[in-house]
Structure 1
Amino acid sequence: MISRNKRFMAGLASLAAMGIALAGCGSSGDSTAGEDKGKSDGPVTITYLHRLPDSDGMTKVDDIVARWNKDHPDIQVKATKFDGKSAEMIKKLETDVKAGNAPDLAQVGLAELPEVFSKGLVQDVTSEAEKYKDHFVEDVYKLMTIDGKAYGLPQDTGPLTYFYNKAEFDKLGITVPKTADEMVETAKKAAAQGKYIMSFQPDEAGNMMSGLAGAAEPWYATEGGTWHVDTETSGSKAFSDLYQQLLDSKATAVAERWTPDFDALLQQGTLIGTVAAAWEAPLFISSSGGTGAGDWQVTQLGDWFGNEGKTGADGGSGVAVMKGCEHPAEAMEFLDWFNTQVPDLVSQGLVVAATTEDAETPEKWSEFFGGQDIMAEFAKANANMGDFTYIPGFSAVAAAMSEAAAKAGDGSGKVADIFSTAQKTSVDTLKNLGLKVK
């Protein structure tokens, strides 16, 4: 299914032409690593740092790796899970690279590659990556490249969709809204009966909110080595208008996604609809504690954010070869194998970037979502992405957006402040990296 994706974040693919815009802000590592460092004559050990969920019911990363190690005695892999946030992992990688003890492979968000590149944390493995590029969606493969050089391989994508409890909707006599006005009207009707069909998640400001606001119009572009920044676009304004109305009328739940508060809303049956990334499916089931099992459905976003039916991205990641990796050929051989273990990665909640086989909806997911083939719905969303491009240092922008979103959520700020904060922080971040900004 994923091979049908022809539009996934086409704007981000422009990173392949951004070498000039990223130059001067850090080394990209050994540009000839893939050519000069061939396979070792003896057994080697490859280390892999990841942030995959590894929750109950999933095929654990250690079990996947164990299969590889059994069949490849000359290339042994040791995987380690990082339990912190992605921004914290980047800081760790920066420290480890400077200290000379970084992992050989590390999971990085597709939006984070420009940052880890600009900080000189990754190395060029183009000659090795070229061997495997046909195993992945072409546009997503390009997102692991900069200026035509590859720094790893893609693992998954993250299109935003809408999860809703159809049984609860039917009880309330409502349907999934198609327009922003319908969303406000329907949300108010549900709230009057103690239910919420939307959630406002401050900790997802830099991911979900940027994806929703940016679906209509990208924020970042480069021209002649200069970054153009406008985070207060029509899509951002549409997002602000909708959510400000929902917040002012108390017609949306307010809770950080990755806290017990959000889980409680699901388990109490209070939250019956929310925007969610495709990879959230198994995590959402876990958060619900089984509440509403069989009643939930997945559908596409309505035209709620000036997006004309398009969706945005929340997440999506690849695995990069870190600077200092002494065996890039072996690392890439394992990485290609790992990133094409489709059923295992699907069990982790990933909408895989591999095209080696179709992704099937796991039975447990299908049971929770009323027998629906949600992977087909995710593939549809994947093919309906709006264009978006991230900047080096976007993690700082995301952190600032989350702070502004928290204030909007508690009423001490406005939703529009999220995007004005993004504008200032984006410009400051690029300037601090020594890049030209307009």
Structure 2
Amino acid sequence: MKPRTRFVRAAAVATVTAISALGLAACSTDTGSGNDSGPIEISYLHRLPDGEGMTSVNDIVARWNAENPDIQVKATKFDGAATDMILKLETDVKAGKADCLAQVGYSEVPQLFVKGMLEDVADEADAYADDFSAGAFAMMTVGDAVVGIPQDTGPLVYYYNAAEFEALGLPVPTTLAELTSDSATAATAGKYVTAFTPDEALSWLSAQAAAAGDSWFGATDDGWTVDAEGAGSQTVAAFWQNLVDTKQTLVTERWGEAFTQALNNGSLIGHVGAAWEAGFLLDSLDGTPAEGQWRIAQLPDFGAGALTGPDGGSGVAVMKGCEHPAEAMAFNGWFNTQIDDLASQGLVVAANGTPTTSEKLLRQFGGQDVLGELATASSNLNPDFVYAPGFASLTKMNETAAGVGSGSTQVADVFTTAQTTAVATLEDLGLPVAK
């Protein structure tokens, strides 16, 4: 089954035009000949942590190699930053020595494809589509092209301190109205059930717009379309502006000390955050009275039903020039359905199924089946929300959001910044934008 969402062919046509203009060579570095002289050899470049207590990537790959003597895979860990890895991939593709498979962030996929760095493996990918949620699989598509297999996801969920909620008589919010009501009640006790985090505006607010049913990017015969100020974005803006104006949310950077301090002193008792935060969000509470008090719930309904949006995540793409895309995809599809192994790496696995929740998560979340809850969230990703080339440039949203706390900007302004920046970026890339 093909995923429910793909842009119309016009986007693919625009992409192919851009690729032709760039004139990048399609070379391969796979050393296997694919004939009787030996097995096909596939190289895979990744950034997975491979930390202590995790099932190592090399151990997973070794199991594949033992079971598939005709397709041998060599995995290499890239220890630099994600941006550095992208630069390496671009250099290697141009030089004709890129790895056949590489881990890439979902927000990077469209621009890498536009630059001619990724193969279209739509025919090979169809066999694996049913193994993943439609929302995750859509993240590896550009136009009618499919460039690889999703690996992990970052759906938004709701974290909350169950003991504090019970003490205040707060219901676990299932709608924005309930979350608004909880915010008002908690504020009277000097508590916050949410935090507005300007430094996460790009991925965090766009994901909420997706949860509200929006799709920011699409295409027509005239080119890409951008709609970052739709009904969903307006709902999100109004919700947060109300909480900021009434001082019923904690306004702080997500990655600053104030967030952790509020968590530790018990003033922050709820948080709209990405699923991948579960692995470390509560570490500072270990050994304190608050250990084991927190739980995870599905994101409250932002007006579009049981939907959530993507805040991060990555897939494994087939790099341009891979000589054996079918064999590469055979490994790719297998590797990314090894859910317990990948979950041990701290991933919210994109594949269907529920991995076993670790002892650490069971302890920190009071025995809750955390990974089961996150798997449900992954399955609820909005399948119509995908990224466009240059999405990373929308970090200007963070700059606009930085003024929300002081009142120098409004939350709605953040989405206006997204709209104008997205259009300008696509035009700067030489891609047609429908007016």
> Shorter-chain-normalised TM-score: which range?
0.7 to 0.9
Q: Is the 8 A contact 2:44 2:101 kept in 1?
A: yes
Cα deviation digits, residues 318-343 of structure 1 (max 9, x gap): 11122244554554344333212210
Distance 1:322 1:306, change over 3 A: same
TM-score by length of 2: 0.83
Using the alignment, how far apart are the partners of 1:94 and 1:178 within structure 2?
44
The verdict on how the C-alpha distance between 1:221 and 1:79 changes in structure 2, with shifts beyond 3 A counting, is: same
Aligned to 1:251: 248
Alpha-carbon offset, residue 395 of structure 1: 1.2
> What SS does structure 2 have at the residue aligned with 1:112?
helix
Q: TM-score, normalised by structure 1?
A: 0.82
Match of 2:317 among 306, 320, 338: 320
In structure 2, give the amino acid aligned to 1:200.
F
Conserved? CA contact 1:31–1:125, under 8 Å = no
User: Of the candidates 338, 348, 351, which is equivalent to residue 351 of structure 1?
Assistant: 348
Query: 1:3 aligns to what?
Result: none
Counterpart of 2:76 in structure 1 is 79
Map 1:55-70; keep pairs closer than 5 Å.
Answer: 57-65=53-61, 67-68=63-64
Gaps of 5+ in 1: 1-5
Would the alpha carbon gap of residues 31 and 98 (structure 1) be closer, same or farther in structure 2, given more than 3 Å must change?
closer
Alignment-mate amino acid for residue 110 of structure 1: Y
Native 8 Å contact 1:29 1:122 kept in 2? no
Say yes or no: does 1:18 pair with 2:11. Answer: yes
Q: Percent identity?
A: 48
Q: Secondary structure at the match of 1:228?
A: strand
* Deviation, structure 1 residue 188: 3.7
Contact persistence 1:54–1:61 (CA under 8 A): yes
- In the other structure, the counterpart of 2:373 is 377
Amino acid at match of 2:400: A
How many angstroms does 1:25 deviate by? Answer: 1.8
Q: Equivalent residue for 1:265?
A: 262
Note closer, same or farther for the CA distance 1:52–1:189 as it changes in structure 2 (3 Å cut): farther
CA RMSD of aligned residues (A): 3.6
Q: State how far apart, in whole Å, the 1-side matches of 2:133 and 2:178 are.
A: 36
Which residue is equivalent to 2:418? 422
**Which amino acid is the alignment partner of residue 391 of structure 1?**
A
Q: Equivalents in 1 of 2:164, 2:339: separation in Å?
A: 33
Deviation at 1:104, TM superposition (A): 3.2
- SS across alignment from 2:281: helix
- State yes or no: 1:228 paired with 2:225: yes
Task: State the 1:233 CA deviation.
Answer: 1.5
Amino acid at match of 1:380: T
Q: Say which is worse superposed, 65-74 or 167-176, in terms of deviation.
A: 65-74
Distance in structure 1 (CA, Å) of the matches to 2:101 and 2:12:
22
Conservation of the 8 A alpha-carbon contact between 2:139 and 2:386: no
| TM-aligned CA distance change 1:224 to 1:182, over 3 Å | same
Deviations 1:29-64 (A, max 9, x none): 788989xx8636447765433343545554343554
Matched, 1:168 2:161: no
SS at match of 1:316: strand
SS of match in other structure, 1:24: helix
Q: 1:275-306: CA deviations, max 9, x gaps?
A: 12223321324465465332111112223x44
1:361 maps to which residue?
Answer: 357
| Cα distance in 2, alignment partners of residues 70 and 153 from structure 1 | 22
Task: Give the structure 2 partner of residue 301 of structure 1.
Answer: 299
Whole-Å Cα distance in 1 between the matches of residues 249 and 101 of structure 2? 40
Alignment of 1:38-437 (within 5 A): 39=34, 41-42=37-38, 46-54=42-50, 57-65=53-61, 67-68=63-64, 75-84=72-81, 86=82, 89-126=85-122, 128-129=124-125, 132-133=128-129, 135-137=131-133, 140-141=136-137, 143-215=139-211, 216-286=213-283, 288-289=285-286, 292-303=290-301, 305-325=302-322, 328=325, 331-355=328-352, 358-386=354-382, 387-397=384-394, 399-409=395-405, 411-437=407-433
Sort the Cα spacing of 1:330 and 1:196 in 2 relative to 1 into closer, same or farther, 3 A.
same
Structure 1 residue 411: deviation in Å? Answer: 4.3
Distance 1:243 1:82, change over 3 A: farther
- CA separation of 1:260/1:25 partners in 2, compared to 1, >3 Å: closer, same or farther? farther
Question: Using a 3 Å threshold, how does the CA distance of structure 1 residues 126 and 420 change in structure 2: closer, same or farther?
Answer: closer
Following superposition, the deviation at residue 428 of structure 1 comes to: 0.4
| SS of alignment partner, residue 26 of structure 1 | helix
- The CA deviation at 1:249 is 3.3
Alpha carbons 1:234, 1:306 under 8 Å: kept = no
SS at match of 2:214: coil
- Secondary structure of 1:158's counterpart equals strand
* 1:107 counterpart SS class: strand
> Gaps spanning 5+ residues in structure 2: where?
none
Distance of aligned partners of 1:43 and 1:406 in 2 relative to their CA distance in 1, 3 Å threshold: farther
Corresponding residue SS for 1:407: coil
SS across alignment from 1:388: coil
CA distance in 2, matches of 1:94, 1:56: 31
Contact map agreement 2:33 2:40 (CA 8 A) in 1: no
Distance 1:105 1:16, change over 3 A: farther
Distance 1:111 1:229 in 2: 15
Residues 205 and 327 (structure 1), Cα distance of their counterparts in 2 relative to 1, 3 Å cut: same
Amino acid at match of 2:119: Q
Partner SS for 1:280? helix
